[in-house]
Structure 1
Amino acid sequence: MEYVTERVLFISLFIMIIHCIDTSAYATRLSGARVGYLASAFSLFNVMVIVSRMSNMIQQPLTGSLVDIAGDLSYIDALVWVEHQYRFIIAACTVGTVLGILFFPTFISLFSRALFHLSIERGSIVRLIRKCLTPSYILRACKHITVPRFSYLKGVKFKHISFSLLITNTLITAIYTVGVLSSLFAALLIPQHASTAIMASGLINGVATILIFVLVDPKVAILADEVSNRKGSYAQLKAVTLTMIVSRLLGTILAQIIFVPAAYYVAWFTKFLL
């Protein structure tokens, strides 16, 4: 069990970093509107989203290995043990999102400078990363670490908050957070159809990703364009961005609630397909 505990801690650390990156990605648009490199900001945002999605695919075999380890236990013991491990991993998603929120002002400052250097490097992400990893740039970046202050909320008004966007992104984040884990847990519930249940994770995360880019992303993109064209206010874009990161946090908390019901739904849906 000690070996398994170390494995869970490693997976949790990995997923925590993924969610921290996911949360920080929202800072790119604020940075783009702030320094006038909005198109470059969208490009950088897409790069971060792709890295996050790829990292999420890497976690599948890691979390799936816990199901294999539980195979030596009885049916009930395996369900209880895996549920506890997966809930710990979901909690790591929440911690990663909180870290992303705490460092959000820092990310805005760093991305503002990254966008400027990206224009110097003529859009080469590889050269930008190579430059940012040099000791001098790392030391310079450390000087821009900013502690969150209430003054950051200056200009943000209650009317700027979109509650429909808050609810939508909360639900999508919760589904995306448990997509892989619920499918793997469903494989334990119906071991005779385990392969079908596991493959359902790709469908769940795919639908969640499509919903993000159809229901959520265009609204933020249009507002960012309006700010860039001086037709909208930076404070309103800031309010919407805060709505997005808060909804991500709420989504990871909601994931704890829907984790097991989602697994039973996947199990039912798998039987329905067969």
Structure 2
Amino acid sequence: MDWMERVTGGQFEVGLLLFIFVMIAVTNFIDTTAYAARLAGVRTKQLAVANSLFAMLTFGSRMTTFLYLPLIAGIVETAAKQGTDPFFALEFVLLGAAVGTAAAILLLPATDRFYELGIQQMEKHETSMRVFKSLFFSKQGLKELAGCWRAPKWSMWKGIGWEGVPKDMIILNAVLYGLFTVGSIAAYYAGAFEPDIRLLGSSLSGAINAVAAFLLLFLVDPRGALIMDQGIHRKLDMGVVRSSMVLLAVSRLAGTILSLLVLYPGGMFVAFLAKLIDRFIG
């Protein structure tokens, strides 16, 4: 892959970057299916069950962060030793988040049906292990899983509009997911600006993600929860609920794309903070 070597300057192994790319893409794909889970939960009036199914899936996806975050730190360490800039390698890694999110949006009808099937199976079998066994270890279960497939079509966008959807919630969701996506990687990238205190810079990743998660939890999620609750009780048209979830997913994609643009200034800002903290404790 000559194009990969040109992008990274030949500093890093192509296989390593592709592995991180795939891991981040998978994580963001599964996380983005949260909107499909909410739609299935509202439609079936089993939102708690849908959220439980999503939590089980996302637990596995979040475990992948333990695989790729140390590798990203290793990329920055290698660049620091070589005196090179890992910017393009980290941009490629961040691109994986956008690709995974975009794939989840395209496959929203399929994942929506998948969660609906999971809800039906939970009502029938009551435990997650029995559901897993019935779906993945039986001929009928595999047939039902295959029946969840829905090819991406332009028709899925019919009826999606802004009427009744809080625009500020959608915009804020994009900004906060941009911060959430770039947070950890920008903290590692700060080491390229201040190599002597790169460990201190990388330690700020948790704080940045905590701030983004806090803002999402208090500013976006409650309004999304209200929309879903009103949808369950049919106080809000299902079309508005569907539009809200789809537009939230799209705004998440916009946030991941935004993260590509703010990696450099984000790394500089974290390096600046790390330098201030170093002076304070020094």
TM-score (norm 2): 0.88
Aligned equivalents of 1:166 and 1:117: distance in 2?
32
AA aligned opposite 1:56: T
AA aligned opposite 1:108: D
Aligned equivalents of 1:258 and 1:24: distance in 2?
25
RMSD after superposition: 1.9
For 1:255-266, list aligned pairs within 5 A. 255-266=259-270
Taking a change above 3 Å as real, the CA distance of residues 144 and 262 of structure 1, as seen in their structure-2 partners, is same
Aligned equivalents of 2:246 and 2:102: distance in 1?
12
Aligned equivalents of 2:23 and 2:188: distance in 1?
18
Aligned equivalents of 1:50 and 1:163: distance in 2?
30
Tell me the secondary structure at the aligned position of residue 53 of structure 2. helix
Tell me the secondary structure at the aligned position of residue 159 of structure 1. coil
Q: 23, 44, 48: which is aligned to 1:39? A: 48
| Contact 2:135–2:144 under 8 Å retained in 1 | no
AA aligned opposite 1:126: M
Taking a change above 3 Å as real, the CA distance of residues 212 and 16 of structure 1, as seen in their structure-2 partners, is same
Q: Is the aligned partner of 1:247 residue 2:251?
A: yes
AA aligned opposite 1:197: G
AA aligned opposite 1:188: A
Tell me the secondary structure at the aligned position of residue 160 of structure 1. coil
Taking a change above 3 Å as real, the CA distance of residues 125 and 59 of structure 1, as seen in their structure-2 partners, is farther
Deviating beyond 6 angstroms after TM superposition, the runs of 4 or more aligned structure 1 residues are none
The aligned residue for residue 20 of structure 1 is: 29
**Range 53-62 or range 35-44, more displaced:** 53-62
Q: 171, 176, 191: which is aligned to 2:180? A: 176
| Contact 1:223–1:232 under 8 Å retained in 2 | yes
Aligned equivalents of 1:3 and 1:133: distance in 2?
38
The aligned residue for residue 143 of structure 1 is: 147
Taking a change above 3 Å as real, the CA distance of residues 130 and 213 of structure 1, as seen in their structure-2 partners, is farther
The aligned residue for residue 134 of structure 1 is: 137
Taking a change above 3 Å as real, the CA distance of residues 215 and 49 of structure 1, as seen in their structure-2 partners, is farther
Alpha-carbon shift at residue 210 of structure 1 (Å): 1.6
Alpha-carbon shift at residue 57 of structure 1 (Å): 4.5
Alpha-carbon shift at residue 50 of structure 1 (Å): 4.1
Tell me the secondary structure at the aligned position of residue 26 of structure 1. helix
Aligned equivalents of 2:268 and 2:56: distance in 1?
34
For 1:1-274, list aligned pairs within 5 A. 1=10, 4-74=13-83, 78-79=84-85, 82-122=86-126, 124-134=127-137, 136=139, 137-274=141-278
Q: Deviations over 1:196-242 (max 9, x none)?
A: 10110011111111222211111111111111112111111101101
Taking a change above 3 Å as real, the CA distance of residues 52 and 127 of structure 1, as seen in their structure-2 partners, is same
**Range 142-151 or range 109-118, more displaced:** 142-151
Aligned equivalents of 1:64 and 1:7: distance in 2?
12
Aligned equivalents of 1:151 and 1:186: distance in 2?
44
Aligned equivalents of 2:147 and 2:216: distance in 1?
34
Query: Share of identical aligned residues, percent?
Result: 27
Taking a change above 3 Å as real, the CA distance of residues 193 and 130 of structure 1, as seen in their structure-2 partners, is farther
TM-score (norm 1): 0.90
Taking a change above 3 Å as real, the CA distance of residues 61 and 126 of structure 1, as seen in their structure-2 partners, is farther
Unmatched segments (≥5 aa) in structure 1: none
AA aligned opposite 2:190: A
